Chain A
Amino acid sequence: MAYRYSVGSQTYQFADLKTVLAKATPARSGDYLAGVAAETYAERMAARMCLAAIPLKTFLEDLIIPYETDEVTRLIIDTHDQQAFAEISHLTVADFRDWLLSDAADSATLKRVAPGITPEMAAAVSKLMRNQDLILVAKKCHVSTSFRNTIGLPGHISVRLQPNHPTDDARGIAASMLDGLLYGAGDAVIGINPATDSLPALMDLYYLVDDVISQYNIPTQSCILTHVTNQIQLIERGAPVDLVFQSIAGTEKANKSFGIDIALLKEAQSAALSLNRGTVKNAAGSHNVMYFETGQGSALSANANFGVDQQTCEVRAYAVARHLSPLLINTVVGFIGPEYLYDGKQIIRAGLEDHFCGKLLGLPIGCDVCYTNHAEADQDDMDTLMTLLATAGLTFIMGIPGADDIMLNYQTTSFHDALYLRKVLGLKAAPEFELWLKAMNIMDAAGRIQPVTKTHNMLQNMPKNLLNAA
């Protein structure tokens, strides 16, 4: 179906719904790369005005990627909650923005309506929203999940401790882990990106993190970010797996390029649940055992975007995530490079969009606030984005020693950054983890990080990999 919008004497024609969405998107290099971006500023505004008048119901009928050929589309349509949708089914995209910003859309209402919102509806409305709108509405969306602690309570921000080492050296990883824990980080997950694909080496990494968590009795969870098929095999071989990780994208073909489909993710979820390693139950009486990573541009980089703009593709990945009730989902916003998000301005906008859309769909979304050395960005841009996101109620950020990941070769956020956010915005760590920090004399009663002396328990009784070596 064709769409059009007239500005004065000029009429803008859009071939189909995905073209309206793409041309309405704030400018970014990835959409130019895909050849789907608006060609003029005026065309972009015409597309937004056209989009504003489209009823939300249209997104259930005019499918941007065919139902027959894409399992993500089938998932979105087949799991759509008509009852939850009833409250907003009469709205256009413009009305939807107005309603989201109104006081009528309070936290309870947004939670109730979330299963009725499809990725395309969320993406569409985000394109009409300014940065402050994305912040305000996201802040009203409360999403809480549990494994060994409680993630996502209002007024809290968690940290994924990412103790990567370029050769997976056990002592190097343990040293970064200790550094992070002594800076109060690690409540979201202690998650390693391994350099290796080797199953025996991965098994060692699982035991390395699990031993540290057990030794200090830390209320947190571990994850090794290798391919999901490796994790399933390692579960079968008896590895102590807390969370199962996978990178996911918003089309069946893009997921296929990652070597996955929805059935495989379901299999992994069942395998992780069968280990029953969680200790804190969520509102549904179960544990959240999945950890997903996403990022705008992944579908296009797999040549699997089908003319859909990168932000809409990204939100479709959240439908896959939502189906698997993750403990955490992480948009790795600036990792992919300048061909998708060129500079600080584009990275900041994308980070706010991803967080808003994720929260609107009911996901515990955090953000790897990051950039690579071939992007036009620096730490000042990261400061801006992390401050905006934390203001918006971000679920978690990354914690890497000095913000410099020596294995993945990019810059993200540091343990110091997390302390900055907690200090400036009055945010707390997950409650179970905060109790542990206080019991370990890492945090004082007022929530400030404590000076650590040489006689501190964790330095006197180091992880066994470090004990002999240090």
Chain B
Amino acid sequence: MTNNINDNLSLTASTAEAGITQDPWAQLKKFTRARIALGRVGSSLPTREVLDFGLAHAMARDAVHLALDVAALAADIQAQGFSTIQVHSLAPDRANYLLRPDWGRRLNDHSQQDLANLCNLKKQNTAPIDFLIVVGDGLSSLAVSRHVPPLLAEIRQHLPADWQIGPVVIASQARVAIADEIGQALNARMVAMLIGERPGLSSPDSLGIYLTYAPKLGLSDADRNCISNVRPEGLQYAAAAKKLLWLAKESMRLSVSGVALKDESDVQEITQQP
């Protein structure tokens, strides 16, 4: 007997269909990946749906524990014309990362020192950073390795020419707020954190973007703007990059981010049309 999961599922489906009350709106599935029109047995889920859900959960569980291939990601980012540096949070491994989010929000001593050295070097040689990009593995390294390189390509196209862009900082075992410490260490005016979101059943690889003006330790979620669900099946790279740059320019203009900065990028677009 074969162990192929799909074979087993279709076998289950064909033998169990008989007693299922079907939902005659299955055509609406083309508009959403939500689990609609599942049908029912009595009022309960059909067997094939219980198994399908169980498989998706198993895959999402596995995604949480897959480690980010930092070297491969750095190479992909450099191929987009950015320089990169690597840092690590205080969380030594995945198990600690999951139980200690506070560790994931702080740099370890070694990385703090690296950034301090870099900042001293920079002060002597170049203008301060306007827009710093940090990439964090978060809860899905899959999201980062798949979507960060193409997203950066889009971002690069929209970056104002007069903005100083620092190196892209790749942070391992990272939470969103670690970007605040990194931004502060590098004296950046603004930081955009690209981070793997918690995996969902239908999206083990969703990327989130968090924008913070004047990053420093101790800021809260109310100080950030968020763009979520960046992936081909969600918010497209081009649209995400456009939204991010709209917010970043407004943030620069008004010297704020977070709840004080409202995303009206859609309105802006409409009014700009002839």
Contact = CB atoms under 8 A, between A and B. Distances in A.
Contacts of A372: 198
Contact of A407 (B53, B102, B139, B229): B229
B228 A195 contact: yes
A416 B43 contact: yes
B220 A199 contact: no
Interface string B28-50: 11011111111010111100010
B198 A416 contact: no
Contacts of B220: 256-257, 302-303
A182 B25 contact: yes
Nearest to B261: A197
Interface string A291-313: 00000000001110000000000
A165 B203 contact: no
Interface in B55-112: 56-57, 60-61, 63-64, 98-102
A339 B99 contact: yes
A33 B203 contact: no
B64 A179 contact: no
A226 to B, nearest CB: 10
A33 B226 CA distance: 26
B164 interface: no
A60 interface: no
Contacts of A182: 23, 25
Interface string A252-266: 000011110000000
Contact of A416 (B45, B197, B264): B45
Given A33-B99, A404-B56, A420 B44 contact: yes
Interface string B223-247: 0011011000111000000000000
Contact of B43 (A257, A403, A423): A423
B5 interface: no
B34 A195 contact: no
Contacts of B234: 166-167, 195
Contacts of A303: 218, 220
A409 B197 contact: yes
Given A33-B99, A373-B60, A256 B222 contact: yes
Contact of A339 (B29, B37, B98, B235): B98
Contacts of B35: 401-404, 414
Nearest to A180: B36
Contacts of A466: 28, 31
B167 interface: no
B222 A404 contact: no
B264 A33 contact: no
B24 A454 contact: yes
B199 A169 contact: no
B259 interface: yes
B interface residue count range (under 10 / 10 to 19 / 20 to 34 / 35 or more): 35 or more
B156 to A, nearest CB: 23
B34 A165 contact: yes
A337 B97 CA distance: 12
A337 B198 contact: yes
Contacts of B21: 451
B31 A469 contact: yes
A59 B251 CA distance: 45
Contacts of B57: 373, 378-379, 411
Interface in A286-333: 301-303
Nearest to B104: A339
Contact of A452 (B23, B101, B201, B259): B23
B272 interface: no
Contacts of A227: 259
A233 B259 CA distance: 13
A198 B266 contact: yes
B267 A199 contact: yes
Interface in A430-470: 448-449, 451-454, 456, 459, 466, 469-470
Contacts of A173: 32
B251 to A, nearest CB: 13
B141 interface: no
Contact of A409 (B23, B203, B218, B263): B203
A403 B198 CA distance: 16
Question: Most chain-B Cβ atoms within 10 A of its Cβ — which of A182, A406, A407, A449?
Answer: A406
Contact of B31 (A169, A196, A373): A169
B259 A229 contact: yes
Contact of A196 (B56, B206, B218, B263): B263
A301 B101 contact: yes
A161 B262 CA distance: 27
Given A166-B235, A373-B198, A404-B56, A452 B44 contact: no
Given A182-B25, A373-B64, A404-B201, A175 B225 contact: no
Question: Most chain-B Cβ atoms within 10 A of its Cβ — which of A169, A195, A198, A419?
Answer: A198
A195 B229 contact: yes
Given A171-B32, A373-B198, A339 B101 contact: yes
B34 A33 contact: no
A237 B34 CA distance: 31
A233 B33 CA distance: 32
A143 B97 CA distance: 41
Contacts of B225: 197
B27 interface: yes
A200 B229 contact: no
B202 interface: yes
A197 B35 CA distance: 25
Given A200-B266, A373-B199, A257 B221 contact: yes
A402 B200 contact: no
Contact of A259 (B60, B200, B202, B258): B258
Contact of B34 (A256, A401, A448): A401
B265 interface: yes
Contact of B266 (A201, A259, A402, A410): A201
A374 B64 contact: yes
A230 interface: yes
A195 B31 contact: no
B260 to A, nearest CB: 8
Interface string B170-202: 000000000000000000000000000111111
A374 to B, nearest CB: 5
Nearest to B29: A175
A196 B57 CA distance: 26
Contacts of B28: 175, 178-179, 466, 470
A197 B34 contact: no
7 contacts: A179-B23, A182-B25, A195-B228, A198-B266, A403-B35, A452-B25, A470-B27
Given A33-B102, A178-B36, A200-B266, 7 more contacts: A373-B60, A402-B34, A402-B36, A406-B202, A406-B203, A408-B200, A411-B57
